[in-house]
Amino acid sequence: MFKRILVANRGEIALRVIRAAHDLGIEAVAVYSEADRGAPYLEIADEAICIGPAASAQSYLNIPGIIAAAEIADVEAIHPGYGFLAENAHFAEVCHSCGIKFIGPSAEVIDSCGDKSKAKTTAAHAGVPVVPGSDGAVADIEEAAKIAQLIGYPVIIKAAAGGGGRGMRMAKDASVFHNCFRQAQQEAAAAFGDDTVYVEKFVVNPRHVEVQILAGADGEVVYLGERDCSIQRRHQKLIEESPSPATTPDISKRLGEAAVAFAKAAGYVNAGTVEFLLDANGDFFFIELNARIQVEHCVSEMVSGIDLVKWQIMIAAGANLDFKQSDVQIRGHAIEFRINAENPARNFAPAPGRIEKLFLPGGRGVRVDSHIAAGYTIPRHYDSMIAKLIVHGEDRAEALRIARRALREIKIEGPGLATTVPLHLQLLDQPEFQRGEIDTGYLERFLDS
């Protein structure tokens, strides 16, 4: 096992990784930008090293700076958290070249899963259901239009290098196909420097359901149930839960087995997430693999009892899983509420500031993952998520009751500060949400009403 690791991230996930390291008896070294200097969570780390100015490009994305910090601190491994360098194959490769273990899958696997059209082909070959469409990337617009005609409208054109909804265009019929295709290509070229696109049937109002997997150093893979992440706005998730209110034990098992089949075909090692679209008939289709720990990993931890970040570190150190699929038991229901410093009444505009009054909830069935403290000033340079409330109940109804109670306890106050807490409380009062009748369009429909 490692003696000392470096956390190449900030905020709540940096603290989450530091805690997992400490639970394993490992020292954790934090890095920080000038904007994060003095942040209270840095004191939990065994050492903290400044890696540059506030701008992410010069700090949390600065590979030479992070590697220099790792050398100075004499660590054996680097955990990238999520975002920033987490799915950067080049960074994983640089770590490897420097003799530092990257806590995540190999550079090759990150690279091959980064191409969504390639990943889709891998899935299809592994017998995993995929959305009907082009077999990999399309060569040109003529081929794409032919495929669209064949599968039938509406279709969606997606960037192979995409993710998070960028470089994606829906075409409702042949009359708009040409424009949509060119827009998707242009957006892909601008965002990823790669205009490769593929075409598939557009699934109307799907649910976003994803399966947490864990693969040991020997490539043995287990699934830890699914998460429903349908409550999102502009591809920013707001609420995630496990199990999905839309799955039966049979769908859940087939989703899990499909995710494992994909992970094995991809040669995946470490923690990962296999994303699917689930339609109203209960049919599901692979869309992509996320080669990182995700924000919403906590709901899977609550229902499975398995510490995912601890396993990420152990697997990077060479461990195989010490349990089998049949040992995994999903218990109860967990829901995560993202608490962002933004104002839902002003189109979710960032609303950071100094926290003058703080009270965070606790008690039975409540977990709060957060780096904030009273007196802390939320920097405006980064993501607005400042805390995650995760509740766990024996069933969904109990989880919802605990959520209401916990959300009502929260006080995060200061000049100019606004959070998503009031919106969460409003959503908890909605009959559709209470019934779990949520698809990826639900939140935007609710906000427009």
User: For residues 353 and 326, is the Cβ–Cβ distance under 8 A?
Assistant: no
DSSP string, 172-239: -SHHHHHHHHHHHHHHHHHHHS---EEEEEPPSS-EEEEEEEEE-TT--EEEEEEEEEEEEETTEEEE
**Exactly one of 11, 80, 105, 206 binds ligand MV4 (CB under 6 A); which one?**
206
**Is-catalytic flag, 354?**
no
Choose between 23 and 143: whose C-beta lies nearer to ligand MV4.
143
Q: Which of the ranges 201-209, 316-324, 353-361, 416-424 carries the binding residues for ligand MV4, by CB under 6 A?
A: 201-209
Nearest approach, Cβ of residue 248 and ligand MV4 (Å): 21
Report if residue 292 touches ligand MV4, rule: CB under 6 A. Answer: no
The C-alpha atoms of residue 363 and residue 369 are separated, in whole angstroms, by 14
Q: CA nearest 285: which of 295, 294, 274, 271? A: 274
Name the DSSP class of 379. Answer: P
Choose between 42 and 119: whose C-beta lies nearer to ligand MV4.
119
Nearest approach, Cβ of residue 178 and ligand MV4 (Å): 19
The C-alpha atoms of residue 27 and residue 82 are separated, in whole angstroms, by 20
Report if residue 202 touches ligand MV4, rule: CB under 6 A. Answer: yes
Choose between 251 and 277: whose C-beta lies nearer to ligand MV4.
277
**Which residues, including other chains, have CB under 8 Å from residue 78's CB and lie 6 or more apart?**
5, 6, 7, 8, 66, 70, 95, 100, 101, 102, 103
**Exactly one of 294, 312, 340, 440 binds ligand MV4 (CB under 6 A); which one?**
440
Q: Which of the ranges 75-83, 196-204, 258-266, 398-406 carries the binding residues for ligand MV4, by CB under 6 A?
A: 196-204
* Contact set for ligand MV4, span 262-291 (CB under 6 A): 277, 287-288
The C-alpha atoms of residue 300 and residue 315 are separated, in whole angstroms, by 18
Choose between 195 and 210: whose C-beta lies nearer to ligand MV4.
210
The C-alpha atoms of residue 281 and residue 226 are separated, in whole angstroms, by 17
User: For residues 399 and 335, is the Cβ–Cβ distance under 8 A?
Assistant: yes
Of 292, 338, 367, 396, the active-site residue reads: 292
* Contact set for ligand MV4, span 105-124 (CB under 6 A): none
Residue 62: both structure tokens together: 């600065």
Helix locations, 42-201, DSSP H: 63-73, 89-97, 107-114, 116-125, 141-151, 174-192
Nearest approach, Cβ of residue 285 and ligand MV4 (Å): 7
Q: Which of the ranges 71-79, 200-208, 303-311, 325-333 carries the binding residues for ligand MV4, by CB under 6 A?
A: 200-208
Binding to ligand MV4 by CB under 6 A, coded x per residue (else -) over 231-250, reads -x--x---------------
Choose between 237 and 371: whose C-beta lies nearer to ligand MV4.
237
Report if residue 61 touches ligand MV4, rule: CB under 6 A. Answer: no
Evaluate the omega torsion of the peptide bond into residue 243 and state whether it is cis, within 30 degrees of 0: yes
Nearest approach, Cβ of residue 67 and ligand MV4 (Å): 31
The C-alpha atoms of residue 262 and residue 264 are separated, in whole angstroms, by 5
Nearest approach, Cβ of residue 230 and ligand MV4 (Å): 7
The C-alpha atoms of residue 264 and residue 256 are separated, in whole angstroms, by 12
The C-alpha atoms of residue 329 and residue 342 are separated, in whole angstroms, by 37
Nearest approach, Cβ of residue 244 and ligand MV4 (Å): 13
Q: CA nearest 336: which of 293, 382, 302? A: 302
Report if residue 128 touches ligand MV4, rule: CB under 6 A. Answer: no
Nearest approach, Cβ of residue 444 and ligand MV4 (Å): 9
Choose between 5 and 199: whose C-beta lies nearer to ligand MV4.
199
Report if residue 15 touches ligand MV4, rule: CB under 6 A. Answer: no
Q: Sign of dihedral through CA atoms 191, 197, 198, 201?
A: positive
Choose between 36 and 439: whose C-beta lies nearer to ligand MV4.
439
Choose between 235 and 346: whose C-beta lies nearer to ligand MV4.
235
User: For residues 245 and 264, is the Cβ–Cβ distance under 8 A?
Assistant: no
**Exactly one of 15, 203, 315, 335 binds ligand MV4 (CB under 6 A); which one?**
203
Report the phi/psi class of residue 13: left, alpha or beta, with left for phi > 0 and alpha for psi in -120 to 50.
Answer: alpha
Report if residue 389 touches ligand MV4, rule: CB under 6 A. Answer: no
Residues of this chain that bind ligand MV4 (CB under 6 A): 131, 156, 165, 200-203, 206, 208, 232, 235, 277, 287-288, 440
Catalytic residues: 292
